[in-house]
A and B are shown apart, each in its own frame.
Chain A
Amino acid sequence: MLLYTYPENFRAYKALIAAQYSGAKVDIAPNFVFGETNRTESFLKKFPLGKVPALETDDGKYLAESNAIAYYVSNAQLRGASDFEKAEVLQWLSFADNEIGPAAAAWVYPALGYIQFNKLSHERAKQDIARSLERLQARLVNNTYLVGERITLADIVVFTSLLSLFQHVADPAYRKPFFAVNRWFNTILNQPQTKAVVKNFTFCEKETPFDPKKYAEFQAKFGGGAQQKEKKEKEKKEKQPQQPAAEKKKKEKEAEPAEEMDEAELALAAEPKSKDPFDSLPKGTFNMDDFKRVYSNEDEAKSIPYFFEKFDPENYSIWYGEYKYPEELTKVFMSCNLITGMFQRLDKMRKQAFASCCLFGEDNNSTISGVWVWRGQELAFGLSPDWQIDYESYDWKKLDPSSEETKKLVTQYFSWTGTDKGGRKFNQGKIFK
């Protein structure tokens, strides 16, 4: 039997370890190049999705999906003794795919530089994995293996799904409470059948931190919108206090070789690319990200002149928006929620837009108005149906970028000073960036 895979693919490990137990003869297809071989017509004819691992039997049958392949090359012991045990094996395979898999990817991939680091999903992934480990612990406190009293495919598959976690991100302190899982993991790891397949495994001593450089390299190689990503990354960096990226581990190998990725990982890495409605408009010379960075990091005395210096009036426009129904505004905090809610609904607009919205006055006597900047000369809200919820509640006035009046207004709103037309004092401001 021929197994198509790139090296050190944990999904292929399932079948390879199972074959060690059953004695099934599984050879790894020689000269397989990920991204090339699996794109060829002859490969796609056999495996229409072009995913690996993929198995070709001696009598010319084809099997995709790692669990199915592993099941096929297993023996009776690995599949489970009774009907119920077989179902239990299946239960753990699904557990590995649904409970461990996605969270493991969210935690490990940023560490390997496949995807952008995100603090929120990082924390959530850590919690999710802890929950899965608790589940495993509950079983393994009372039992040596996951199903029955023998090693089964369940052990092999769950083990492989934990490999990258235990190697790259789950440090000793994190693993410590799950003593039964550790005991079991060690046992599976040290079975001769596993050792014949999984080489070079070392337990994580210290969580591998996200390395923007590695990520950038990876994106340059594989990411479709590499440039866009980089920009986004800069933006993120400025928002989040820098993680300890400075101290890069020397022993750490350079970016994972390209072949390490399979389709699923690539799909994850490439994040859903929803089209940016601003793409249809010319880019111009004004760099929104640069301006936002200056605005966040520098004093207004610097950032506002910077804005006028760099502003590209041909491709960008400045707008004044005023809330139409100030008489309905009551509590200040509710009005602020109105603004932030609008910002949230306009999330996809952020990349190419900037705004400072201010609330003037106090409870039961206030107004909302703001100065907006975006790409293009028209009201940007027409570009996407997602953006049309709030804008009709505002009066929009396009400002002449060259006039002194505009300069004054921009300065006032960007620096959160002054009063509204009715003389109400500035109360609170919100920045859309």
Chain B
Amino acid sequence: MGVDKEITKIANYINFPIKGKLSFTEDNIIQMKEKDKFIIGFSTIVNFFHDLNEKEQTQQSIENYYLTKQFFDFANVFIRSTSKRDKYAACLELNEYLETRSYLIGQSLSLADLVVFYALNDIMVQLSPLEKENYLNLSRWYDYLQNQPPILQTGKVINFSTIHLLGWNTARA
């Protein structure tokens, strides 16, 4: 999933009108036009949403506000890394982190969940059922998010059935 698509989905989720605002710079960096100015770069745009979202429904503590930003960078640097090792290390780390947590931040959904969720999509579709089972907590969390229609939007549901044969079967079909 391209970054433009991810940003569109996040914008949809927070009800931010995005039509026709996205483009790429000459260096192929995503940018968003907002009131005659360009906001450049994935992290910058997401942080812009984050602040917007906070203004509308300020429920996060300052600590969680910055923790959320940290997850934006985490998604950008590790999950989207070109190195396969980085990617899997990120999955492992998330899996461990989610053992004691239902959500990335606090005890409810936040933009951190969304950003990491969309960024993970490319990795998750490629995981074999056995790998999914190794990332037990990550899989549980991912499955939860993809079952929320406002988050999934037009995306495809990934099979997390723990019945191996069924999983293989649907993966091939």
Residue positions of A touching B, CB distance < 8 A: 141-145, 148-149, 179-180, 182-184, 186-187, 190-191
Contact = CB atoms under 8 A, between A and B. Distances in A.
Interface string B59-93: 00000000000000000000000000000000000
Overall SS of chain B's interface: loop
Contacts of A190: 106-107
9 contacts: A141-B140, A142-B140, A142-B162, A143-B144, A149-B147, A180-B140, A183-B99, A187-B102, A190-B106
B148 to A, nearest CB: 7
Contacts of A149: 143-144, 147-148
A143 B102 CA distance: 9
A191 B140 contact: no
Most buried by A among B107, B139, B141, B160: B107
Contacts of A143: 140, 143-144
B99 A142 contact: no
Contact of B143 (A142, A180, A184, A191): A142
A148 to B, nearest CB: 8
Indicate the size class of the contact surface on chain B.
10 to 19
B78 to A, nearest CB: 23
Contacts of A180: 140
A326 B117 CA distance: 82
Contacts of B100: 179, 182-183, 186
Contacts of B107: 186-187, 190-191
Contacts, number: 42
A148 B108 CA distance: 16
Nearest to A143: B140
B21 interface: no
Given A190-B107, A191-B107, A144 B99 contact: no
Most buried by A among B102, B140, B143: B102
Interface in B144-166: 144, 147-148, 160, 162
Contact of A183 (B101, B108, B147): B101
The 3 closest A-B pairs by CB, nearest first: A149-B147, A187-B102, A190-B107
Nearest to B136: A141
B101 to A, nearest CB: 6
A183 B106 CA distance: 12
Contacts of B144: 143-145, 149
A183 B162 contact: no
Contact of B140 (A144, A148, A182, A186): A144
Given A142-B139, A143-B143, A186-B102, 12 more contacts: A141-B136, A141-B137, A142-B140, A142-B162, A149-B144, A149-B147, A179-B100, A182-B100, A183-B99, A184-B102, A186-B107, A187-B102
Overall SS of chain A's interface: loop
Contacts of A179: 99-100
A364 B107 CA distance: 74
B28 to A, nearest CB: 36
A54 B160 CA distance: 42
A84 to B, nearest CB: 15
Contacts of B143: 142-143, 149
A182 B102 CA distance: 10
B98 to A, nearest CB: 8
A142 B135 CA distance: 11
B133 to A, nearest CB: 10
A142 B102 CA distance: 11
A198 to B, nearest CB: 14
Contacts of B101: 183, 187
Contacts of B137: 141
Nearest to B146: A149
A144 B102 contact: yes
A182 B98 CA distance: 12
A182 B99 CA distance: 9
Interface string B2-40: 000000000000000000000000000000000000000
Contacts of A141: 136-137, 140
A144 B144 CA distance: 6
A190 B144 CA distance: 18
B96 to A, nearest CB: 11
Interface in B97-122: 99-103, 106-108
A206 B126 CA distance: 45
Contacts of A183: 99-102
B138 to A, nearest CB: 12
